[in-house]
Amino acid sequence: MDLLRFITAGSVDDGKSTLIGRLLYDSKSILIDQMEALEKQSRNKEDGGIDLALLTDGLRAEREQGITIDVAYKYFSTPNRKFIIADAPGHIQYTRNMVTGASNASLIIILVDARNGVVEQTRRHSIIASLLNIPHVVVAINKMDLVDYSQDVFNNIAIDYAKIAKTLELKDVTYLPISALKGDNIVDKSDHLSWFEGGTLLELLESVQVAKDINLTHARLPVQYVIRPQTEALHDYRGYAGKIISGVYKIGDAVTVLPAGLTSTIKAIETGGKEVEEAFAPQSVILHLQDDIDISRGDLIVRSGDHPRVEQELEVLLCWMDSRPLTSGNKYLLQIGSRRVRSVVKEIEYKLDVNTLEKNYSADQAGLNDIVKARIRTATPLPFDSYKELQVNGGAILIDETSNVTVGACMIQ
């Protein structure tokens, strides 16, 4: 059974938490003790119903403010697929939270209040989805019950959003009329939306093709661990363990180990305790090579003739996540995959306005939640691909050397 990671985003009070609660409730993914706690917490609700938003808004402070502050993750499954949901905040001051939640997502649900249509935060969330290269976008036009389930309202919002999608070159956009509060078109078809010919939200989530998003062309295997038992039974055993992040590896393939550039041939492949002829992303494997060459954690094994770039100068689009500002000359640890190197931020080229995509070339520092284009130099050569071409080998993080806290998320240009 495959897995879909998706994120919900929208303006404050667009109904993100209620949508997730409805999805869990109607798909019968709530445990009995959770249900009892939910009913108990909802007793003060005016209409006597269940407050489904409580399933994701776990912090009391969040509920009192009526907003979601941190990224709340929920897990559920149906007979057809497993799901991980990230419920991201709507406010601009929580851009870093949305970037964190969306970094591994294959799909984003952007909620639009049917009464308000496309607003500034809709555009901002769409821009972030574009920057993060999220393959599938669902525009869920919520609160249709408050506009009498009007088809004209739905069509007008879809037309408005289509202009944004075209500008941002969003790949796969689907429009869906729903009411999270009433349960219309979430898990079950709604009689109120009989004019809509598409399926429900759950049907869409179950059927979206995520396997096609995996790159099987460029073979990349970051080495996590070198296995050397050095026992009598396994005296000569030397395996290189890691998760294939893209591509396919076969016995007999010529490979290159980066950044050193050493070459060899695959002698054997193990996965799940068995030897196989080939392995592919996203399998975890152990590779055995014909030659005893110097390989360590953080090295990248690629197929010879299909190399990523190996350089010390990186141009990145960077989301700053620390309360202390980022300025030129600051030094951090940069990690991509399992490789961690020392680095220095040489220059901030511009600050990006995530509402308009305007570039401020006079910016000399980045504050919390800012997105900037920066130039970073690493202490040693680093193998990488561009984020747009191969996301799994084009994303990196900056780590504070003193506190070991992640302070920046990078998309290599």
Q: Are both 319 and 372 inside the same structural domain?
A: yes
Rounded CA gap, 353 and 325, in Å?
Answer: 17
Mean pLDDT by 10 residues, the chain (413 residues): 86 78 77 56 56 53 44 80 79 71 87 92 89 93 95 96 92 93 90 93 92 90 90 80 96 96 96 93 95 93 95 94 93 94 96 89 90 96 94 93 92 93
Q: What single-letter amino acid sits at 407?
A: V
Tokens of 194: 């009989």
Q: Do 48 and 197 belong to one domain? A: yes
If asked whether residues 335 and 241 sit together in one domain, one would say no
What pTM was computed for the model? 0.83
Of 260, 285, 303, the residue that ends a domain is 303
How many distinct structural domains can be found in the chain? 3
Query: What distance in Å separates the CA atoms of residue 94 and residue 70, rounded to the nearest whole number?
Result: 8
Residue-wise DSSP of 72-108: EEEEEE-SS-EEEEEE---SGGGHHHHHHHHTT-SEE
CATH number at residue 26: 3.40.50.300
Residues 394 and 318 reside in one and the same domain: yes
Can you tell me the distance from the alpha carbon of 68 to that of 58, in angstroms, rounded to the nearest whole number? Answer: 9
pLDDT at 62: 42
At residue 230, the pLDDT reads 72
Same-domain check for residues 60 and 155: yes
Same domain, 282 and 383: no
| Residue 16, Ramachandran bin (φ over 0: left; ψ between -120 and 50: alpha; else beta) | alpha
Q: Print the domain residue range for 190.
A: 3-212
CATH (domain of 269): 2.40.30.10
In this prediction, residue 1 carries a pLDDT of 65
Phi, psi (deg, nearest 5) at residue 184:
-70, 120
User: What's the confidence (pLDDT) of residue 11?
Assistant: 77
Question: CA-CA distances (angstroms) from residue 233 to 172, 230, 323?
Answer: 53, 8, 54
Query: DSSP characters for 247-310?
Result: SEEETT-EEEEETTTEEEEEEEEEETTEEESEEETT-EEEEEESS-----TT-EEEETT---EE
- Confidence (pLDDT) at 44: 52
Q: Is the peptide bond before 89 cis (omega within 30 degrees of 0)?
A: no
